[in-house]
Structures are given as C-alpha cells and as structure tokens.
C-alpha cells in the first residue's frame, strides 16, 4: 500500500501560511515593528495565538537586543535546548551563543550559593554579561539569580528575554522582572507559559525577523 497524504511540503510556504494564520487570529495591536515580528515568532513556537496577551516588554526592547546582536554581543542561554534552537546563520555578527550549565565549575558553585545549577551558571557569566543578550527559557532560578546579581553590581545586559516555564517560580520570577527590570530592557511572557522554544524563537526574531528557518 502506498498512501500519500495531502500536506504542504514547501518550507517557505509553510512559514508563509503560519505567519498569515497568526496575523489573522492573534491580537497584535499592542506591538509594532520588530516587536511585532518577535511576538509572531513566540506564538509560532508554541502554537497558541492567545499568548499575545501575556507578552510584556519595555519600550525599545527589541531594538536594544537587535542592536546588541549587530554589535557582536554574545547570547547567554540557561539551557542547551535554547542554544540549539538558535539559528546561527541568522546571527548578524557570528555572535557567540553560550550555555554554561554543564561547565565543571557549576556544581561546586551551586553548592556554594545553595541554588540550582541553572542559577549557579549565571554567576559564571561574569563581566561578559555587559551588553549581552540573555535568553532564559527554562529555569526561574536563573532569572531570579540574574536579578540578584545585577542588584549586587553585576554588569547589565542589553536585553533580558524572560521566558522560564512551569509551576514553581516561573510566574513569580517574570513578575519580578516586569515590575522592576533594574533599567534593563526586557521581553517576557507572564504566567506559567514559556519555554526553550520561545526563548530561541525570540533570539531568532531579534536576529532575522520573520526570515525562514530552513
């Protein structure tokens, strides 16, 4: 038996129809310019048009992140999944994409500060945090820790993408960011939703707008 399904096989057409559906169904009225493309990419990554209502951002956040990437800033990710979802080809300056979760210094640091490995790696970002793009797609503890370190005098990144997911601390850490981002431009999804696919999608939007992934 040989069945052939009727489905769209052309990647460019798949993207076109996806973005068209999102523009038709989602309320994008709060967004414009680059921020609109980023919102579309976030929705595309999760398949839910109502996500638009949960997106919070500071004025000029998209432009701050895009400019940082154009100037060669590194991208710090909290988990390897985020790193591997970023499309290197889209990055404007062969930017470094860094995740230190599995660095050998992380376990002793986590013990030292009494926190998760995800949070402990933030301590290792050090001075390179200055002007960087930070993409947190998994761990609320990493976002809390980043805010703590900035309060303690750590250099400020160019943009924080606050997209941790889940039931313990995710909503709370993102509220802390949205309520007081310490003057750092931010983009976040309020509530429990988030995830590594959204975090990568946000970076891909900063780097390449709605260009096809393939």
Nearer to a copy of itself, 56 or 119 (CB): 119
- Helix, strand, or coil here: 212? coil
Residue 58 binds a copy of itself (CB under 8 A)? no
Considering only 28-36, 55-63, 127-135, 165-173, which stretch makes contact with a copy of itself by CB under 8 A? 165-173
Closer to a copy of itself by CB, 68 or 198: give it: 198
Q: Which range in 29-37, 58-66, 124-132, 160-168 contacts a copy of itself by CB under 8 A? A: 160-168
Write the CB contacts of 185 (distance below 8 Å, at least 6 apart in sequence): 58, 60, 61, 64, 65, 158, 159, 160
DSSP 98-136: E--TT-TTHHHHHHHHTS-HHHHHHHHHGGGGTT-EEEE
Pick the closer one to a copy of itself by CB: 8 or 93. Answer: 8
Nearer to a copy of itself (CB atom), residue 59 or residue 167: 167
Give least dist CB 59 to a copy of itself, A.
24
Choose the binding region for a copy of itself from 55-63, 122-130, 162-170, 202-210 (rule: CB under 8 A).
Answer: 162-170
Query: In angstroms, rounded to a whole number, what is the distance separating the alpha carbons of residues 175 and 119?
Result: 17
Query: Which residues face 76 on adjacent strands?
Result: 98, 134
Say whether residue 88 binds a copy of itself (CB under 8 A).
no
Among 58, 95, 173, 181, the residue binding a copy of itself under the rule CB under 8 A is 173
Among 41, 109, 117, 174, binds a copy of itself (CB under 8 A): 117
Q: Where in 15-44 is the site for a copy of itself (CB under 8 A)? A: 17-18, 21-22, 44
User: Closest distance between a copy of itself and the C-beta of residue 196, in Å?
Assistant: 6
| Helix runs in 26-104, H state only | 33-46, 61-70, 80-85
Spatial CA neighbour of 55 closest among 188, 158, 208? 188
Q: How many CA atoms lie within 13 A of 17 on its CB side?
A: 8
Question: Does the protein bind a copy of itself through residue 7 (CB under 8 A)?
Answer: yes
d(CA 169, CA 165) in angstroms, rounded, equals 9
How many other C-beta atoms lie within 10 A of the C-beta of residue 81?
16
Residues in contact with a copy of itself by CB under 8 A are 1-5, 7-11, 14, 17-18, 21-22, 44-48, 80-81, 83-85, 114-117, 119, 140-141, 144, 147-148, 151-152, 165-170, 172-173, 176, 191-197, 200, 214
């Amino acid at each position: 038996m040989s069945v052939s399904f009727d489905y769209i096989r052309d990647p460019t057409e798949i993207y076109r129809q996806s973005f068209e559906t999102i523009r038709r169904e989602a309320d994008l009225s709060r967004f414009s310019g680059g921020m609109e493309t980023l919102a579309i990419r976030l929705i595309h990554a999760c398949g839910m048009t109502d996500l638009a209502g949960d997106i919070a951002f500071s004025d000029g956040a998209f432009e701050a992140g895009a400019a940082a990437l154009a100037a060669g800033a590194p991208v710090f990710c909290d988990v390897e999944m985020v790193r591997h979802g970023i499309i290197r080809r889209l990055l404007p300056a062969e930017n470094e994409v860094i995740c230190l979760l599995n660095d050998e210094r992380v376990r002793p640091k986590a013990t030292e500060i009494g926190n998760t490995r995800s949070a402990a790696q933030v301590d290792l970002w050090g001075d390179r945090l200055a002007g960087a793009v930070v993409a947190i797609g998994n761990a609320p503890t990493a976002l809390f820790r980043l805010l703590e370190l900035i309060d303690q005098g750590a250099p400020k990144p160019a943009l924080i993408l606050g997209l941790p997911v889940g039931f313990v601390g995710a909503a709370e850490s993102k509220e802390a960011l949205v309520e007081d981002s310490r003057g750092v431009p931010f983009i976040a999804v309020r509530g429990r939703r988030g995830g590594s696919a959204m975090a990568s999608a946000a970076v891909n939007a900063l780097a390449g707008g709605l260009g096809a992934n393939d």
